[in-house]
Amino acid sequence: MNKIVIFFSHAGDNYSVGNIEVGNTKIVADYISEITGADQYEIVTHKYDGMAYTPLINLAQEEANKGELPPYEGAAPDLSKYDTVFIGGPVWWGTYPQVMFTLFKDIDLAGKTVIPFTTHEGSGLANCVSDVKKAFPKANVTKGFSIYGHEVRTGKAKVEKWLKGLGY
């Protein structure tokens, strides 16, 4: 089984954890790769670099309301050799950050197993699983996993337990 983790994660000033050098979701993505051997593709944008928390949440809300699709750096990944795709990101205003939806438009996950996960501060999976299902109607989208962002640094055991339940 060939696996890849596609994720977005925002390092910098954030709710509850302060100014972090490595984003919460990246830490979970790294646990998944360490435990399952999955490759990684990180969705990168420099649009939010150096922003303080309050202007960032305002900008993100505006993007979500308008359905904006900010560009990501580089090319979309070639997913032809993968049958299992983990998709992870923070919850921003009830779903994944808009830049993730930009990538979703450029990839095809038909026939693949898709495993969504989030880091969050209270919303859990929010609308992420249903929005992934909408983006990839021909994929087999599983129920998903969420963990508090402020828990990830001490929460590796929770990720291990989830993955064990999936057979890893």
Ligand X SMILES: Cc1cc2nc3c(=O)[nH]c(=O)nc-3n(C[C@H](O)[C@H](O)[C@H](O)COP(=O)(O)O)c2cc1C
* Contact positions vs ligand X (CB under 6 A): 9-10, 14-15, 23-26, 56-57, 60, 90-94, 119-123, 149
Closest to ligand X by CB, 91 vs 163, is 91
d(CA 75, CA 70): 14
Residue 10 Cβ vs ligand X, minimum distance, rounded to whole Å = 4
Give the nearest distance from C-beta 159 to ligand X in angstroms: 13
Which of 112, 120 has the CB closer to ligand X? Answer: 120
161, two tokens: 């337990």
Q: For ligand X, give the closer residue by CB, 87 or 112.
A: 87
Q: By C-beta, is 2 or 131 nearer to ligand X?
A: 131
Nearest to 15 by CA among 90, 116, 127: 90
CB atoms within 10 A of CB 148: 17
- Residues 109 and 85: beta-carbon distance below 8 Å: yes
- Measured from the CB atom, is 92 or 104 closer to ligand X? 92
Which of left, alpha, beta for 2 (phi over 0: left; psi -120 to 50: alpha)?
beta
Q: How far is the CB of 91 from ligand X (least distance, A)?
A: 4
CB 167 to ligand X: min, Å: 26
| The Cα angle at residue 77 between residues 73 and 83, in degrees rounded to 5 | 150
Torsion angle in degrees (nearest 10) through CA of 90, 95, 99, 101: 130
Least distance in angstroms from the C-beta of 51 to ligand X: 9
Q: Which residue is nearest to ligand X (CB)?
A: 149
